[in-house]
Structure 1
Amino acid sequence: MELVGSPLTATHAHPRSTPTNFLPAISTMASSYKNRFPYYPLPQSFSLPWAPSAYYRTAAINPTLAPFSGSAQGLTPSKTLPFVSNRTSLFTRYTPDDWYRSNLTNYRESETSRHNSENLRVDTSRLIQDKYQQTKKTQTESTKNLGERVNDIDFWKSELCHELDEMIGETNALSDMKRRLERALAETEAPLQVAQECLLHREKRMGIDLVHDNVEKELFTEVDVIRSCQERMQRFLDRAKAQLASNRAAQHEVERDLANKQTAYRIDDKCHHLRNTSDGISYHRGVERVDATISVPDSWAKFTDDNILRSQSERAASAKLRDEIENLLVVTANEMWNQFNSANVAFTNRIAETADAKSKIQTHLAKTLQEIFQIEMSIEAIRKAIRDKVPPLKVAQTRLDERTRRPHVELCRDSAQLRLVNEVHELDETIQSLQQRLRDAEDTLQTLVRSKAVLEHDLAVKANSLFIDQEKCMGMRKSFPCTARLVGYV
């Protein structure tokens, strides 16, 4: 059963079809009318339609007693009424009851039409009011949803802005740390070159001083320490470059998401402030059937949350790497400084040992030179003594020779003869002993000269070693970088 006044199925929405003739049918009239007026059925075009305009068109025809002509509008010659006499046209077709019934019927139908029209107007007014409230409610809910969406976008936009600022700061800090690491790595080249040059200079030591001493060991250790520090710095430098690339990738994603959020915020904020009286609104037929969405609220929020989480993860890794680089710089600087000091201590000790050896050699050389001078004086004295023994020997031998010329018995082996013979023997022995002593002295002199040459050579070697260690090596090692330079601050 349908309810009267329903917006869609109300009875007044489908009015009853009105009859084509408001008067009763001819067949219902009294039989007396049938005999007085010949019955000629009217053509279909003469039937009275329900539309008022048909009445006006029908009433516009002027009545006449003449038969219808062939040119009558809407009638063909075959359907033209036959001639009706004036007498016949005076007879009526309906009774008064028919006339009253026709009026009552028209009244009832008019009242029904008005009632249906009134119901239609009331229901239409109610429908308009309901649809207005529904439209207003729907628009209010849409505006509210847009406002909530704008708030959500603004929240995530603020989160992205904060994360972007943090990421930019972390990237800048890591870039500064990378530059410090590069400067520190560059500063290690000078100490490494100094250590290698010290080793090369010490290869120029001569003779016995070309030893694998503590200085050389410390220099080799220093080279190994510096190269180890360089390798670790280079590894961390590569990690810093890779981390910077990851930071920039995460920053790019955050920036792109932020740019999209700003665009969406501007669009949704504009939509949120659109009203029925706003400018720029127009029809867009079929736009509700176009579904260009590619995400839902959960996936939309998860996308931004994933970008923020990725950025936070990269920031944490970057901060950890910065701490590791800071510790590395401190550790490597301490290691290089400690090894540098150890090498310097070894140099100092070696220089002291070399200087002491040189001093002792100089002392021995001075004594040797003094002894050479003394032995040369002794040799000269021995030679003079030998020369001094020649005249007495000649005298003794001459005496003996002269005494051999004594005649006969005068050739007596007297005490003078014996003494002369003993004198000659003594002088010969003296000369031989002096000559032996001269040879010994000369041998000693040669030994002293060789010792002097050895001492002089050793002194030159020590002087060369001392010059290399003290002047060349220690002179270069005065320019070792300070701690501030080794940690990359300068």
Structure 2
Amino acid sequence: MESVGSPLPATFAHPRSLPTRFLPAIHPMPSSYKNRFPYRPLPQSYSLPWMPSTYYKTAAIKPTLAAFSKSSQGITAGEKLPSVSTRTTVFSRYTPEDWYKSNVTTSRESETSQKNAERLRADTSRMIDDKYQQTKKTQVESTKNLGVRATDIAFWKSELCHELDEMIGETNALTGVKTRLERALAESEAPLQVAHECLLHREKRMGIDLVRDNVEEQLLTEVDVIRSCREKMQQFLDKAKAQIMSNRAAQHNLEKDLANKQVAHRIDDRCHHLMNSSHGISYYRGVEQVDATISVPESWAKFTNDNILRSQSERAACAKLRDNIENMLVVTASEMWRQFNAVNVAFTNRIAETADAKRKIQTHLAKTLQEIFQIERNIEAIQKAIRDQGPPLKVAQTRLDERTRRPNMELCRDTAQLR
């Protein structure tokens, strides 16, 4: 038997290793437990609040141990109050050196924790300042970008407004020219009908007067000229209608783009004037993860620029078409008027020729009638003269008949016989 408190030989035979912890947990040995006293839990109230005074008041109650009896030996090990062995108590003690080392280590760990805490507080404060400055800088840049964006939208909006006004004016001008063209096309129907009626009436001429003269040639030319002018007018009228449709399509794109620009400018201008103290700001969870954009600044500017370029192209084509229509109206009017004057000159000349021929014929007719009258009178005079020569003829024939009765040699062919 070893005396209580005497050192063990194994303790001095081997060097003592330093524990990883300076305050290791005391592990009770099961062999030192003696099941002699029953375990009785300390009376405590779990309904009391967790306060230090309550804790100490509850812990101050001394537990009572029941008297040892044979009936208590049947209680299990978990319900018995363990007893501490003297041998185990000796083995669980620490040396003063361990205690000092533990205190030094605890102090060092505390100082390290304090330094880490101070460093963490400094880093946290510096991080807060950095994040505040970064947030402020980002907000300033975002506000500046919103201002630039609003300025860009205002610029393109003004360009769209200017182009839209120009397009509306050009479309109205083309509509006016189209109205004039329709009126000119309707008015050209009457000269064509007149030319056709003139040709139909000239077919009623008779005899040698049914001639293909200069008037008929000019009338046929006038019909061809009017038909050609009407075809040109109809072609330009179709082009004007198609151009008006193209202008309205470009105008619709401009108006739609302008309406979108106005909404975007109102939204960006409101966002540009928002501040941290503004009303209506709130949290919108997950809004930064929603990407509803469908364009980039380059494609956005290109879209509006393409609309403006298309409108300008349509306006240029519209202006060129208006000039062509104006020139065509002037040319066709000049051609029809020139042909109209040519037909009138041909009619005037033909009428003059016909009137002169008629006058000459009438003169010759009068002379002919006069000659006929004179001839008729001459015939009557001749007939009277013939009638007047009847008695002398009778006398002469009677004399000749009587002289045929002369006898023999008296039938002489003398001068009286010859007369």
Shorter-chain TM-score tier: 0.7 to 0.9
Matched residues, number: 363
What is the aligned partner in structure 2 of residue 249 from structure 1? 249
Post-superposition shift, 1:358? 0.8
Post-superposition shift, 1:250? 1.4
What is the aligned partner in structure 2 of residue 177 from structure 1? 177
1:377–1:68 Cα change, 3 Å:
farther
What is the aligned partner in structure 2 of residue 206 from structure 1? 206
* 1:331 and 2:331 aligned: yes
Q: Deviations over 1:300-346 (max 9, x none)?
A: 11111111111111111111122222221222222222222222222
Q: Deviations over 1:128-170 (max 9, x none)?
A: 3222222211111111111111111111111111111111111
Post-superposition shift, 1:97? 12
Q: Is the 8 A contact 2:40 2:63 kept in 1?
A: no
1:122–1:289 Cα change, 3 Å:
same
1:26–1:223 Cα change, 3 Å:
closer
Q: Is the 8 A contact 1:67 1:82 kept in 2?
A: no
Matches within 5 A, 1:305-384: 305-384=305-384
Post-superposition shift, 1:60? 3.1
Post-superposition shift, 1:383? 2.4
What is the aligned partner in structure 2 of residue 429 from structure 1? none
* 1:142 and 2:139 aligned: no
Code of the aligned partner of 1:312: Q
SS of equivalent to 1:270: helix
SS of equivalent to 1:61: helix
SS of equivalent to 1:284: coil
Code of the aligned partner of 2:384: K
Structure 1 gaps of 5+ residues are: 1-23, 28-39, 47-51, 70-75, 84-92, 424-490
Matches within 5 A, 1:109-120: 120=120
Matches within 5 A, 1:73-472: 78-79=78-79, 81=81, 120-393=120-393
Matches within 5 A, 1:45-84: 55=52, 58-61=55-58, 63-67=60-64, 78-79=78-79, 81=81
**Separation in structure 2 between the aligned mates of residue 43 and residue 174 of structure 1, nearest angstrom:** 111
Post-superposition shift, 1:123? 3.9
- TM norm structure 1: 0.63
What is the aligned partner in structure 2 of residue 439 from structure 1? none
Post-superposition shift, 1:289? 1.1
More displaced stretch, 115-124 vs 150-159: 115-124
What is the aligned partner in structure 2 of residue 88 from structure 1? none
Matches within 5 A, 1:4-15: none
**Separation in structure 2 between the aligned mates of residue 368 and residue 78 of structure 1, nearest angstrom:** 174
- TM norm structure 2: 0.73
Q: Is the 8 A contact 2:215 2:343 kept in 1?
A: yes
Post-superposition shift, 1:362? 0.8
Q: Is the 8 A contact 1:67 1:81 kept in 2?
A: no
Structure 2 gaps of 5+ residues are: 1-22, 27-36, 44-48, 67-75, 84-92
1:137–1:286 Cα change, 3 Å:
same
Code of the aligned partner of 1:155: F
Code of the aligned partner of 2:375: I
Q: Is the 8 A contact 1:68 1:81 kept in 2?
A: no
What is the aligned partner in structure 2 of residue 467 from structure 1? none
**Separation in structure 2 between the aligned mates of residue 266 and residue 326 of structure 1, nearest angstrom:** 44
SS of equivalent to 2:184: helix
**Separation in structure 2 between the aligned mates of residue 291 and residue 208 of structure 1, nearest angstrom:** 94
What is the aligned partner in structure 2 of residue 73 from structure 1? none
**Separation in structure 2 between the aligned mates of residue 361 and residue 384 of structure 1, nearest angstrom:** 34
SS of equivalent to 1:60: helix
1:384–1:100 Cα change, 3 Å:
same
Q: Is the 8 A contact 1:171 1:247 kept in 2?
A: yes
1:348–1:26 Cα change, 3 Å:
closer
**Separation in structure 2 between the aligned mates of residue 325 and residue 162 of structure 1, nearest angstrom:** 26
What is the aligned partner in structure 2 of residue 13 from structure 1? none
**Separation in structure 2 between the aligned mates of residue 215 and residue 150 of structure 1, nearest angstrom:** 74
Post-superposition shift, 1:384? 2.3
Q: Deviations over 1:264-295 (max 9, x none)?
A: 11111111111222222222111111111111
**Separation in structure 2 between the aligned mates of residue 142 and residue 104 of structure 1, nearest angstrom:** 55
Aligned-pair RMSD on alpha carbons?
Answer: 4.3
